[in-house]
Amino acid sequence: MTGPAAGARRTAAAALGLALAAALAGCGGGGGGGDDRPELSVSGAYVPQPPTPDMAAGYVTVTNKGGAADRLTSVTTPLAAEVTMHTTIGTRMKRVASLKVPADGELRLATGGDHLMLTNLTHKPKVGDKVSLTLHFASSDPIEIKVPVEPTTYRPKD
Rank residues 37 and 100 by Cβ distance to Cu ion and give the closer one: 100
Task: Give the whole-angstrom CA distance, residue 145 versus residue 58.
Answer: 12
Q: What is the x/- site pattern for Cu ion, positions 12-51, by CB under 5 A?
A: ----------------------------------------
Question: Which one, of 138, 141, 95, 142, lies nearest residue 115 by Cα?
Answer: 95
The nearest distance, CB 118 to Cu ion, in angstroms, is: 10
Task: Give the whole-angstrom CA distance, residue 17 versus residue 127.
Answer: 66
Is residue 117 near Cu ion by the rule CB under 5 A? Answer: yes
Considering only the stretches 78-86, 96-104, 120-128, 147-155, report the one whose residues sit in contact with Cu ion under the rule CB under 5 A: 78-86
- Which residues make Cβ contacts (< 8 Å) with residue 82, sequence separation at least 6? 118, 119, 120
Question: Which one, of 158, 33, 35, 45, lies nearest residue 103 by Cα?
Answer: 35
The nearest distance, CB 128 to Cu ion, in angstroms, is: 24
Task: Give the whole-angstrom CA distance, residue 129 versus residue 147.
Answer: 8
Beta bridge partners of 70: 101
- Which residues make Cβ contacts (< 8 Å) with residue 60, sequence separation at least 6? 42, 43, 44, 45, 109, 116, 133, 135, 145, 147
Is residue 145 near Cu ion by the rule CB under 5 A? Answer: no
Is residue 118 near Cu ion by the rule CB under 5 A? Answer: no
Is residue 55 near Cu ion by the rule CB under 5 A? Answer: no
Is residue 86 near Cu ion by the rule CB under 5 A? Answer: yes
Which of 42, 55, 93, 103 touches Cu ion by CB under 5 A?
A: 93
The nearest distance, CB 67 to Cu ion, in angstroms, is: 31
Which single residue brings its beta carbon nearest to Cu ion? 86
Residues that bind Cu ion (CB under 5 A): 86, 93, 117
